[in-house]
Amino acid sequence: MDTTLIGSVPNDESVEKIIEEIFAYVSIPCWPQIPKKSFKEHMCSQYSENFPGIIVDEEQQKIFLDEEKFYIDLENFYQNFVDKNLDYYKISLDYAYGFYKFVEQVKFKKCNKVKLQTTGPLTFGLTVKTKDEKAVFYNEQYREIIINHLIMKTLWQVKMLKNVFEEKLNIIVFYDEPYLAAYGSAFTAVSKEEIVQTLSELVNKTKNFVDELYNNIIDIKIGIHCCANTDWSILTSVENLDIISFDAYEFFDNFVLYSNEIKNFLNKNKYIAWGLIPNTEKVFNETKESLVSRFKEYISKLVTKGIEEQFLRNCIITPQCGLGSTTYKVLYKVLQLCNEFNNYLYS
C-alpha cells in the first residue's frame, strides 16, 4: 500500500513549502499543479502548448482550436513527434510552476518512486472546441493528434525526472479523466468502444515509448483517475492499464456494482487507488480511525463479491480528487491523514 495526491493544490501557501510537505507526508510524491495561480495552470491549458492550432485566451479564460492554424502547425508537430523531440512538447514554467520546483527538490530526496499527471484525451478533447463550438474529440484526425500530444507531454515529464536520477526510477502516471463522468449523458455522444479504444492507445503508446527511450531503466505504471460516477467497466477494459483511481469516499456504492469487472482487473495484478480522504472541509470531520474503518467496510463488501482481500489491499490511498479549489488548511489535514495512513499501513 502507498499514499499519494491527485495533483492540484491551493495557492494560499508557498509551493516550496507544499512540496516539502508532500515529500514528508506521502509515500509517492507528486508535483503540485496550481490552477488558482493562472488560467495557464488549469487542467487543459496546462498541457496545451504546441498543440496544432491551439489558442489560449487568458483574458476570456478560454481555450479553443483555430482550424486554419491547425493545418499550418501540423507538419511541425508531426516532424517533432516522429523525431521524438521531447523538448518541443515541454510544459513551460508559466504553465507548470510547481513541476519545476518539484524537479529542483526531488534530486535531493531519497525516493525512487514518483507520480506524474497529465490530462486525459477524452477530457482534453471535449474541453477544447473549434470556433463554432464543436468539441475536437469528435474529429478523428484531431483525436489522434490529442493522444500523441498528451503522450509526449507525459514523456517530457519523464525525461525531466530522469535527468536528475542516476538509478532506476519507478514512475506512476495518472491520466486525469473527469469527463468520463459524462459518458452516457445527452451531452456526450461518445461510445464506450471509442473511449476504450482511445484510452488503450494512450496507455499502450505511453508504455512502448518509455521502453523504447529508456530501455528498462524506468518502470512505469499508468493509472486513470475519474473523480465521479462512471461506467467502471470502461476502465477495466482499457488494455494494459495498471491503476483505476476513483472517489471512494462518495462513490463506492456505484463502484461496487462492477465487482465482476473489478475482480478480473485485480486478478491481472492491477491496483485500485482509493480516494478515501475528503478533499473539502469534510476532512475535519474524519480521523485515521474513521477512515480505516470505512476502508475495512469497503474491502469487506468486495470480499463478499468474491474478490480476494490480498488484491484489494495492494493499493494506493489518495484524497477524493485534487485540492486546487480548497485551502492550505484542508491540504495540510489531508497530508496528515495520508501520513497516518502510511504509519497504519506499514505497522
Residue ranges of domains in the chain? 2-345
The answer to which of 91-100, 122-131, 182-191, 220-229 has the lowest mean pLDDT is 182-191
Arithmetic mean of pLDDT, 284-292: 94
Question: What confidence score (pLDDT) does residue 109 get?
Answer: 84
| Burial label, 172 (beta-carbon count in 10 A; 0-12, 13-18, 19+) | buried
pLDDT tops 90 at residue 341: no
C-alpha cell read off for 92:
513551460
The answer to which of 109-118, 193-202, 244-253, 323-332 has the lowest mean pLDDT is 109-118
What distance in Å separates the CA atoms of residue 110 and residue 116, rounded to the nearest whole number? 17
What distance in Å separates the CA atoms of residue 31 and residue 311, rounded to the nearest whole number? 28
Arithmetic mean of pLDDT, 39-59: 96
What distance in Å separates the CA atoms of residue 20 and residue 294, rounded to the nearest whole number? 29
What is the architecture, at CATH level 2, of domain 2-345? Alpha-Beta Barrel (3.20)
Q: Regarding predicted confidence, which is higher, 124 or 309?
A: 124
pLDDT range class, residue 167, cuts 50, 70, 90:
confident
**In which order are the strands placed within the sheet that holds 62-65?**
54-57, 62-65, 129-130
What distance in Å separates the CA atoms of residue 63 and residue 45, rounded to the nearest whole number? 7
Question: HEC states along 72-137?
Answer: HHHHHHHHHHHCCCHHHHCCCCCCCHHHHHHHHHHCCCCCCEEEEEEECHHHHHHHCEECCCCEHH
Arithmetic mean of pLDDT, 33-55: 96
Question: What confidence score (pLDDT) does residue 165 get?
Answer: 84
pLDDT range class, residue 177, cuts 50, 70, 90:
very high
pLDDT range class, residue 189, cuts 50, 70, 90:
confident
pLDDT tops 70 at residue 345: no
Arithmetic mean of pLDDT, 17-37: 95
